[in-house]
C-alpha cells in the first residue's frame, strides 16, 4: 500500500516538477537576471501568502479527519474547513488590495502593479486546491492525485512558455502564466468539493479546527522566515540580480522538496494508521523501519543532487549564475535537515502538541532573522545560505530533543552519519576536482547509476514495501 501510493505521488510530483525544472533554463534565458530576480521575489511572496490566506486550516485535515467516524461527519468537517479557507482568503485579498501602498514596501524596487497583483491572485487561487488535494491523500486516492498533478503541470508549462517566451513579457509573463495556470485548475478542485463534501458546514467545528491549526501558523510562517526571507534581505541590500542567483539555487534545491514531499505524502497516512492502532509495539517497530529507510533514501537523493548541481549550472545557465555552484550544496544541507526534521513533527501532531512546535520554530526564525540582518549585508548570498544552515540545524536539534517526550520514532544516527560523509566526499570531489562537460556528465551519470544499482537493496529494503 505504501509503495503503491508513494509511486503515484512521486510520479505526479516528479514529472510535473521535473518538467518545470527542465524549462527553467528556457525561462531564465528569456529574461535578464534582474527580471528573474523579480520572479524569485514574487514566488517568495506567493509561498507566504498561500500559508497566511488559509491560516493553516487545511493541516487539520491530516489529523482531525481520523477523529470523525461516520462518512457524514467527515463530509461536514471537510466542508467546514473548505468554506473557512475560501471566505477568509477572499477577505484577506480585499484587505491587501486596499492596503497596497503598505504591501509593496516588502520589496522596495518592485511596483505593486502588475507584479504583486499577479502574486496575490495566484496565491488566492491556490487556496481552492489545498483541501481537495489533502482529501485525496487521506483517502488514498493516489491516482486522482497523480492526474491533477500532471494536469497542473501541463497548464503551467503551456501558460508560462506562451507569455514568457512567445510574448517576450519576461517577469510579467512568467507571473501571468502562473496566475492563468492556477485559474485553469479551479473547475477541477471545485468539482472534487461538490462531489465529496458539498454539505452544509458546521460553525461549531470552527473552534476545534482553529484550536488545532492556529499554532501551526506561527510555525509555518517561522519556517518561511527560515527558508525564504533571506531573499528580502538580499534585495534590500543588493539588487534583484543577486536575488536571481539565490532563486536559481532554490529552484535546484526544490528537486529535493519534490522528492521529500512525495515521501512524506505517502508516509503520513501510514503513520497515523499505525500510530492509532491497538498493537503499539508492532506499530512502532514498523514505523522505525519505514522512517529510517525513507530518511536514508532522502540523504542519498540530496547528495546526488548536490553532486550534479555543478554540472547543471555550468552547462545550462550563463556565467552570471556561477556563484550558485558553491552556494547550492550549502543550501542542500539545510533543506535536507529541514525535511528530515519533518518526521519529528509527526510525534507532536499525534499527541496534538502543536504549540511546542510553534515555540521551537519561533526560536529558529528569530535566530535566522538576526543572522540575516548581520551576515547578508557583508556576505550576500553566501551569508544567506550560512544563516539558513544554522537556523535549520537549531530547528532540527530542538525538535528532536523535545519530541522524545511524545510519540517519537528514533533515527538510526550511525547509518545517517555514514551516508552524509560519503555524499559530502563525492560532492566535494566533483566541485573541486572533476571536469565539467557533456561527456564527463554522461560518465558521472553512468557511474552513479551503476553504484545505485549495486546498493539498491540497502537504499530500498524489501521491508519498506510491507507497510
Tell me: pLDDT of 253 over 60. Answer: yes
Ramachandran category for residue 140: left, alpha or beta (phi over 0 → left; psi -120 to 50 → alpha): left
Helix axis angle, 354-403 relative to 324-350, nearest 10°? 100
Supply the pLDDT for residue 137.
76
User: What value, to the nearest 5°, has the Cα angle with vertex 424 and ends 416 and 459?
Assistant: 45
Supply the pLDDT for residue 466.
46
Mean pLDDT along residues 416-434: 87
Q: Which residues contact 189 (CB under 8 A, 6 or more apart)?
A: 128, 129, 132, 133, 148
Supply the pLDDT for residue 443.
87
Output the nine-digit C-alpha cell for 85: 479557507
Supply the pLDDT for residue 175.
92
Greatest extent of the chain over all pairs of C-alpha atoms, in Å? 64
Supply the pLDDT for residue 9.
59
Peptide bond into 114 cis (omega under 30): yes
Cell 566541485 belongs to 431
Give the DSSP per-residue string, 223-243: HHHHHHTHHHHHHHHS-HHHH
More confident residue, 29 or 464: 29
What gap in Å lies between CA 120 and CA 110, rounded to an integer? 14
Give the DSSP per-residue string, 350-405: HTT-HHHHHHHHHHHHHHHHHHHHHHHHHHHHHHHHHHHHHHHHHHHHHHHHHHTT
Highest mean pLDDT among 56-70, 131-145, 218-232 belongs to: 131-145
Tell me: pLDDT of 265 over 80. Answer: no
More confident residue, 333 or 455: 333
Question: To which H or E segment does residue 93 belong?
Answer: helix 71-98
pLDDT classification of 205: cutoffs 50, 70, 90 = confident
Kindly state the percentage of the chain with pLDDT values over 70. 88
Supply the pLDDT for residue 123.
92
Tell me: pLDDT of 4 over 60. Answer: no
Output the nine-digit C-alpha cell for 205: 467545528
pLDDT classification of 226: cutoffs 50, 70, 90 = low
What gap in Å lies between CA 73 and CA 235, rounded to an integer? 48
pLDDT classification of 464: cutoffs 50, 70, 90 = very low
pLDDT per residue over 183-201, tens digit each? 999 999 999 888 888 788 8
Mean pLDDT along residues 322-329: 85
Output the nine-digit C-alpha cell for 284: 512502532
pLDDT per residue over 13-54, tens digit each? 666 666 666 677 777 777 777 787 888 788 878 877 887 888
Mean pLDDT along residues 142-148: 80
Kindly state the percentage of the chain with pLDDT values over 90. 7
- Other Cβ atoms closer than 10 A to 26: 14
What gap in Å lies between CA 394 and CA 401, rounded to an integer? 11
Supply the pLDDT for residue 61.
77
Supply the pLDDT for residue 402.
86
Q: Which residues contact 57 (CB under 8 A, 6 or more apart)?
A: 81, 84, 85, 88, 209, 210, 213
Which of 367, 93, 378 is closest to 229 using CA atoms? 367
Amino acid at each position: 500500500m505504501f509503495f503503491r501510493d508513494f509511486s503515484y505521488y512521486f510520479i505526479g510530483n516528479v514529472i510535473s516538477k521535473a518538467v518545470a525544472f527542465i524549462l527553467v533554463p528556457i525561462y531564465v534565458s528569456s529574461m535578464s537576471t534582474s527580471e528573474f530576480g523579480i520572479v524569485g521575489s514574487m514566488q517568495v511572496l506567493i509561498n507566504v501568502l498561500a500559508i497566511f490566506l488559509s491560516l493553516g486550516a487545511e493541516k487539520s485535515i491530516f489529523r482531525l479527519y481520523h477523529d470523525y467516524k461516520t462518512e457524514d461527519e467527515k463530509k461536514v468537517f471537510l466542508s467546514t474547513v473548505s468554506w473557512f479557507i475560501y471566505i477568509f482568503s477572499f477577505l484577506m485579498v480585499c484587505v491587501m488590495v486596499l492596503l497596497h501602498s503598505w504591501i509593496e514596501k516588502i520589496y522596495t524596487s518592485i511596483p505593486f502593479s502588475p507584479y504583486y497583483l499577479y502574486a496575490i491572485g495566484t496565491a488566492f487561487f491556490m487556496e481552492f486546491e489545498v483541501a481537495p488535494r489533502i482529501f485525496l491523500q487521506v483517502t488514498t486516492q493516489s491516482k486522482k492525485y497523480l492526474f491533477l498533478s500532471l494536469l497542473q503541470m501541463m497548464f503551467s508549462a503551456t501558460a508560462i512558455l506562451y507569455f514568457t517566451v512567445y510574448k517576450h513579457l519576461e517577469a510579467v509573463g512568467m507571473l501571468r502564466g502562473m496566475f492563468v495556470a492556477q485559474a485553469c485548475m479551479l473547475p477541477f478542485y471545485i468539482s472534487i468539493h461538490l462531489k465529496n463534501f458539498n454539505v452544509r458546514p458546521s460553525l461549531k467545528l470552527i473552534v476545534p479546527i482553529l484550536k488545532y491549526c492556529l499554532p501551526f501558523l506561527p510555525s509555518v510562517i517561522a519556517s518561511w522566515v527560515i527558508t525564504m526571507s533571506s531573499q528580502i534581505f538580499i534585495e534590500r541590500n543588493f539588487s534583484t540580480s543577486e536575488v536571481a542567483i539565490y532563486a536559481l539555487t532554490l529552484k535546484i534545491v526544490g528537486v529535493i522538496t519534490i522528492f521529500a514531499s512525495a515521501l512524506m505524502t505517502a508516509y503520513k497516512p501510514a503513520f497515523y494508521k499505525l500510530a492509532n492502532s491497538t498493537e503499539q509495539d508492532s506499530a512502532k517497530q514498523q514505523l522505525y523501519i519505514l522512517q529510517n529507510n525513507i530518511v536514508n533514501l532522502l540523504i542519498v537523493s540530496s547528495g546526488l543532487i548536490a553532486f550534479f548541481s555543478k554540472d547543471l549550472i555550468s552547462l545550462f545557465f550563463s556565467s552570471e549564475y556561477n556563484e550558485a555552484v558553491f552556494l547550492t550544496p550549502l543550501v542542500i544541507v539545510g533543506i535536507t535537515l529541514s525535511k528530515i526534521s519533518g518526521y519529528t513533527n509527526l510525534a507532536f501532531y499525534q499527541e496534538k502538541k502543536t504549540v511546542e512546535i510553534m515555540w521551537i520554530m519561533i526560536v529558529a526564525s528569530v535566530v535566522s532573522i538576526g543572522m540575516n540582518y548581520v551576515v547578508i549585508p557583508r556576505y550576500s548570498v553566501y551569508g544567506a545560505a550560512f544563516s539558513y544552515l544554522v537556523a535549520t540545524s537549531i530547528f532540527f536539534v530542538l525538535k528532536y530533543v523535545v519530541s522524545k517526550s511524545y510519540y517519537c520514532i528514533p533515527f538510526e544516527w550511525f547509518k545517517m552519519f555514514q551516508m552524509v560523509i560519503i555524499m559530502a566526499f563525492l560532492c566535494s570531489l566533483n566541485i573541486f576536482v572533476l571536469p565539467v562537460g557533456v561527456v564527463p556528465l554522461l560518465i558521472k551519470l553512468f557511474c552513479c547509476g551503476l553504484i545505485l544499482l549495486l546498493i539498491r537493496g540497502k537504499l530500498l529494503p524489501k521491508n519498506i514495501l510491507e507497510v
